[in-house]
Each structure stands twice: as C-alpha cells, then as structure tokens.
Amino acid sequence: MILTVTLNTALDITYRVGALRPHTSHRVTEVTERPGGKGVNVARVLALLGHRVAVTGFTGGATGRAVQDRLAHTPGVVDALVPVAGSTRRTIAVVDTTTGDTTQLNEPGPAITPAEWSAFQGAYEDLLRSASAVALCGSLPPGVPVGAYAGLIRTARTLGVPVLLDTSGEPLRRGVAARPDIVKPNADELAELTGSHDPLEATRNARRRGAHTVVASLGADGLLAVNAQGRWRATPPRHIRGNPTGAGDSAVAGLLSGLVEHLPWPARLARAVALSAATVLAPAAGEFDRATYEELLSRVAVTGDATAA
C-alpha cells in the first residue's frame, strides 16, 4: 500500500466559463466537484495506475463529509482521514475555456488543535507500518507546526519507509533538512529555497541541504532530476494547453509509482511527465485519459547522464 498525506484536504470545485472578465457576471457552463488537496489528487492517479492507496490528513464539517462521500466511490483509494472539529476547506478553479487559463481561489483550511495534531501523528505512524512509500503533500492548515513535515519524514525514515515531499516555503526548507528520499519543488519553490534561479545549480544546492533526490518541475519544459547516481531531463513531446490544476500531483504519482515498482530514473521521469501532460488535458485534477497518457509516454524525451550529478 502507498500512503499519501494531505494535511490540508479540500473539496475541489471547478467552474468553466466562456471567458473570464473582472467586474462582470459569468454564466458557468460546467461544474465539477472532486475530493482534493495535493495528496488526494496523487492518490487518485496512483489508483488509476493500479496501486492500492490510503489517504490520510484531516477532515471536518459538511465539506469534509462531502470529501469522504466522494472518496468512498473512488476505486482503489482507502479513506484514512482523521476527524477534526473545524471544517475542511474548498478550492475554486475558474477555467476560461477561450484561453485555457485557470484562476485559482484557495481557502486556508481549518485550525488544528494540539490534541488533533497529536491524534494525527499516532494514526500516521500506524499507517506507515503497512506502507511501501509515503508522499507528504501540500500546504499546512493553521495550527500545524511549521516543522510538521520534518517530523513526519523522520518518523517514516525510522520505520524504513521511503518519503517523497512536495510542499513549499518554510515547511519545504525544514523538510529537506530531514533528508527525504525525493523532493519535488517547482522552479519558483526551488529558487525560494536555494536563492538560485538556475535549475541545475538549484537542484544541486537542495541536495546539499539534505534531499537524496531533487526533481524540479519546470512547467511546460518538463522535469529535471538530480541525485547521487546522475542527472536527467524529461520533456513532453509538445506544448500542452489546458487546465494545469493537479498536473504536478500527477507527476508526483508517476515518481512514487516508479519508486515502488523499482523503475530506473529515466522511466520514472517519462511516466511523471506523461501523466502531468495528460492531466492538463483532463477536465479535473487527479484524472487522465489512459490513451492520451500512453501516446504521450511513447514520445517523452529523456536525456541525461547516469554518472554525473
């Protein structure tokens, strides 16, 4: 079983409009609602790839119940969310169908009490005992310590479970110092962490801070991975236009599935890039069309050197 952690779970709501214009009313042409938060999106993609996944994090209120109701109808995904008194947040994505651009509105999430955080840590440790890998994903809700991911990484490492970290800001800085197996920042997050805007130098800098492997997301330009075995670059076969919400989460699913399947790094990166691109073309985060994914996978370009990191 693969475990994904989403401390700030959400109900993702996507609106599609013909053209998004400020200061005007809009007629919504389509609405979709999905359980969300980065780790939930990762879990949904992993399940579509055939992996059994457990989702943990916090859930509360009417929105939390809606998330859990929908998770119950997601094949391959086990609901291991921990209840809290506060209400799960909502995220709103407004897609302009004319331009393909997306405007995102993210609520902050419920305030977590010390007792709720302690209960989560106990549940997390229990889940790790049957996990083949764990992904720690997304923002921290109010009340959760800024060093939370660092502590969760140390717990996983003590139990011998590989860890992938996908977050930003101070939680990323502290998490990297706890030596996760993989970190997956985007270019802006990596620059904020290291002070360097050169992707190769920044990935090397992040490794020196503690991460075993750094996979930098370069948006439409694909992924760059650096570790002790070498460095590789994977790029999609064409420029993809659509809804980018969840594309990075699909890349995480590709990396995590490749880890538990013991794929070589070039194959992991090709899968991650193809899944990410296929998700951009899908109507909602955490989804992809298999035929589109397989067509993209066959044409992803991977270059690199397995000896020069």
Q: What are the beta bridge partners of residue 4? A: 55, 135
Is 249 catalytic? The answer is yes
Question: Which residue in the list 221, 249, 289, 305 is annotated as catalytic?
Answer: 249
Q: How many residues does the chain have?
A: 309
* Residues with active-site annotation: 249
